[in-house]
């Protein structure tokens, strides 16, 4: 059983690009995205995954998550079954202390939105925050990828 604990933040500037040790292109779609429950298909460069996420009982900080690698050809087929609104982004990995921040730079309908996440082993675990980290948006449903697919960032203005 997998349990995900993460904090999510807006990003202040593009300095993360110079601090990143890796980047990859991600496309993801949602077969199901109901409140608190999602089934996601993700293609990350040349690898593919299916992920099932459960509801959060603590304002979005933690929830069950099960992720499995699947054949790329299966993922491409599953993407055709997804709900409208594919998420397209570049993920940058930035080391900060003993943690790695995943910085997502969105493209397409979510162009201009940049968010960072850090996974923790407990809800009260301390972490070193990089200088590019801004406002915390953990638990704000507008920033969930499953919500960005149906209510993209370009419509917020």
Catalytic residues: 30
Q: Where are the alpha helices (H) located in the chain, listed in sequence order?
A: 16-19, 72-79, 145-150
Instruction: Scan for tokens 């406002």, then name that residue.
Output: 135
End-to-end CA distance of the chain: 40
Task: Count other Cβ atoms within 10 Å, centred on residue 48.
Answer: 22
Give the separation between CA 34 and CA 43, rounded to whole angstroms: 21
């Amino acid at each position: 059983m997998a349990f995900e604990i993460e904090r999510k933040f807006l990003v202040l500037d593009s300095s993360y690009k110079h601090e990143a040790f890796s980047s990859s292109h991600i496309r993801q779609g949602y077969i199901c995205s109901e409140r608190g429950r999602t089934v996601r298909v993700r293609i990350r460069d040349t690898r593919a995954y299916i992920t099932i996420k459960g509801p959060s009982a603590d304002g979005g900080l933690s929830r069950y998550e099960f992720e499995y690698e699947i054949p790329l050809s299966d993922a491409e087929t599953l993407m055709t079954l997804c709900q409208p609104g594919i998420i397209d982004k570049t993920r940058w990995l930035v080391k900060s202390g003993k943690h790695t921040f995943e910085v997502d730079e969105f493209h397409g309908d979510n162009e201009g939105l940049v968010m960072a996440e850090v996974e923790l082993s407990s809800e009260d675990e301390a972490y070193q925050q990089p200088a590019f980290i801004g406002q915390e948006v953990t638990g704000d449903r507008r920033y969930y990828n499953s919500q960005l697919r149906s209510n993209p960032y370009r419509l917020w203005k």
